Amino acid sequence: MATIDVGFVLAVVAFGWGLSLATYRAFATRCGWPMGAWQVDWPALPITLGLLCTLLAGLYAAARGYGGHTISAWAIPVFGLAWAVFWTGFLRVGAQSALLLGPPAAVLLLLRWLG
C-alpha cells in the first residue's frame, strides 16, 4: 500500500498558492481581471504573504535536498510552479482564493516540518 508524503504535497501547494498570490495583481492589472479589496487597497500584503509561503516551501525543498531527497527537492518548485500556472491561469478570478489557502498550507507545512 502506497503512502502519501504529506510534507511534499503541502510544500507543492504552499509554493504554488504562494506564487499565485504574489503574482496575481500583476496578471490581473495586465489582463483586466477583477481584484479583491486586499489586492487593490493593500497590494503589499498579499504579495508579502505569497512570497513568505513560497519561501517556506523553498526552504523545505532545500532541506529535503540536503537530507538526500534530491529528486523531491527539485520536484517541489517544479510542481509548485505548475500549480501556480494552473491556479492563476485557469481559475483567473478564483485564483484570489490563494489568499485563503496559501497561508494555512504554509502553516501546516511548518507544523509538519517542525513536528
> How do the domains of the chain map onto residue ranges?
6-110
Say if residue 87's pLDDT is above 80. Answer: yes
Least Cα distance to 15 among 70, 69, 68, 72 occurs for: 72
What's the whole-number mean pLDDT along residues 71-100?
Answer: 90
What's the whole-number mean pLDDT along residues 71-76?
Answer: 88
Measured between alpha carbons, how far is 60 from 97 in angstroms, rounded to an integer? 23
* 91 SS3 class: coil
Q: Is residue 76 within 8 Å of residue 15, measured between CB atoms?
A: yes
Say if residue 93's pLDDT is above 80. Answer: no
Residue type, 47: I
Say if residue 91's pLDDT is above 90. Answer: no
Mean pLDDT is lowest, of 18-22, 32-36, 54-58, for 32-36
| Helix (H), strand (E) at residue 32 | none
Measured between alpha carbons, how far is 56 from 22 in angstroms, rounded to an integer? 14
